Amino acid sequence: MLVAILSLGAIGAVFGIILGFAGKKFAVAVDPRVEALLQIMPGANCGACGLPGCAAFAEAIVAGSVKPSDCAPGGATLYEQIAAIMGTEVSAYEERKVAQLLCQGGYGRTRMLYRYEGIKDCRAALANFKGPKACDFGCVMQGSCFKVCPFGAIEMGADGLPVIDYYRCTACNKCVVECPQQILKLIGVSHLVTVRCLNTEKGKDAKANCSVACIKCKICEKNCPEDAVHVVAAGEGSVAVIDVEKCTNCGICAAKCPTKSIDMISPLSEEVVLEIGTTPDAGCQACGVCKTE
């Protein structure tokens, strides 16, 4: 009995000592900043930054592959704390962005050339005469963005166009990259007025194919008090483009646009901010995480 205890104890002690030395010798230094960052992170592990959880985000911050502002729920307070730990300046307030669709030509609005019944994939549809729509610039409506969205923020609407839930959208950029028509774009939530057409054909041709196309009439350009919207050359023709720096969200162009290709929406309505009883200044970016979870 005694022999058994002593011998096993001795074996254990020897291995313990060896392991102790090995642990010291091969110790992996963890950056203390990662630990410190982890302490101040919101800890919701919401994935809004596109990384699996706050721990991964803290590592990525130290590695420099993400910006503090990629953490939407964190808000301005968190950015300051991160800057203090990392010893950097607080970067300029970066507003939250959401993916928006720059096409309104759903079924009934855009003339269809044929009925597409092939693989549900935008690239596959485009391979047949540049898609089933008469307009070659718009959404192909086969839902490639819907499939690639990791947050379930995109659904296919009744009119064939993807409908984006801006509260769920985390601006991860996956749909923007996936879309073969480049019809999805990340737009800051404070920009309310957007030209939702990328058709560069002549006004007459565009109008013939789609009732909500930009027809290059320049009415928006003439009525804009801030000189913010212009019909600029693009591709082989031209299309109206709003200069977000100059735009004051007055909405005159949207009201005057004869085809309603310019629209004015507030992607994240103020209701979220009001509901929680906080303001953007207090760090709430109306990300909607608290609302969806």
Partner 1 sequence: MQEYVIIIISAVLVNNIVLSQFLGICPFLGVSKKLSASLGMSGAVSFVLIIASFITWVLQTYLLTPLNITYLQTIAFILVIASLVQFVEIVIKKFSPPMYKALGIFLPLITTNCAVLGVAIINIQNEYSLGKVMVHSLSHAAGFTIALLLMSGIRERLEDADIPESMRGTPIALIVAALMSISFLGFSGLT
By CB under 8 A, tell whether 18 contacts partner 1.
Answer: yes
By CB under 8 A, tell whether 2 contacts partner 1.
Answer: no
By CB under 8 A, tell whether 43 contacts partner 1.
Answer: no
In this chain, which of 4, 87, 115, 117 binds partner 1, going by CB under 8 A? 4
By CB under 8 A, tell whether 11 contacts partner 1.
Answer: yes
Q: How far is the CB of 58 from partner 1 (least distance, A)?
A: 16
Q: Which region among 6-14, 84-92, 237-245, 278-286 touches partner 1 (by CB under 8 A)?
A: 6-14
By CB under 8 A, tell whether 3 contacts partner 1.
Answer: yes
Which residues are paired to 155 by β-bridges?
163
By CB under 8 A, tell whether 63 contacts partner 1.
Answer: no
By CB under 8 A, tell whether 26 contacts partner 1.
Answer: yes
In this chain, which of 19, 84, 233, 276 binds partner 1, going by CB under 8 A? 19
Q: Residue by residue, what is the 3-state secondary structure of the chain? A: CHHHHHHHHHHHHHHHHHHHHHHHHCCCCCCHHHHHHHHHCCCCCCCCCCCCCHHHHHHHHHHCCCCHHHCCCCHHHHHHHHHHHHCCCCCCCCCCEEEEECCCCCECCECECCCCCCCCCHHHHHCCCCCCECCCCCCCCCCHHHHHCCCCCEEECCCCCEEECCCCCCCCCHHHHHCCCCCEEEEECCCCEEECCCCCCCHHHHHHHECCCCCCCCHHHHHCCCCCEEEEEECCEEEEEECCCCCCCCCHHHHHCCCCCEEECCCCCCHHHHHHCCCHHHCCCCCCHHHHC
Q: How far is the CB of 21 from partner 1 (least distance, A)?
A: 10
Q: How far is the CB of 57 from partner 1 (least distance, A)?
A: 17
Residue whose CB is less far from partner 1, 11 or 276: 11
Residue whose CB is less far from partner 1, 23 or 235: 23
By CB under 8 A, tell whether 114 contacts partner 1.
Answer: no
Q: Which region among 10-18, 67-75, 194-202, 273-281 touches partner 1 (by CB under 8 A)?
A: 10-18
Residues contributing to the site for partner 1 (CB under 8 A)? 3-4, 7-8, 11-12, 15-16, 18-19, 22-23, 26-28
